[in-house]
Amino acid sequence: MAESQNQNAKKPETVGLINHTARIFHLMPKGKTAPMRVMPGLNRADPKDWEAVKDSKLVKHLLADHQLEVYAGEPEIKDMTIAKAKELVAVTLDRAILRKWSVEETRPSVAKAIDAQLEKVDGSKKAA
């Protein structure tokens, strides 16, 4: 019975990677022809790609220096303090993630930070 429960346990569809630097990292998963790009802020990664790069020297260094943070699934800014949420928003460059947060976030100061970051990234504004 326990085995079937473990088999039914849902694995995360994505791995959340937070790059705390201003640099873009290109990580080459084994067997792939294109690198996995890790931009500043929150990134979504395929779990298989993450498995293929997580033991590289660069990734180990980034993790040890707290320049890279890893989550099973995508971390929710609504669960973060206002200060931490605004800090993450300010460095995130992924438009899709910012737009998702724009729809979900209810705290006025964080919503304002998301709108400002979207405007910086691509000039779009949250629909009124």
- 11-37 residue pLDDT tens: 568 899 999 999 999 999 888 888 999
Give the chain's end-to-end CA distance (angstroms, integer).
51
Residue type, 99: R
- 54-81 residue pLDDT tens: 999 999 999 999 999 999 888 889 999 9
pTM above 0.75, yes or no: yes
The average pLDDT across 79-84 equals 94
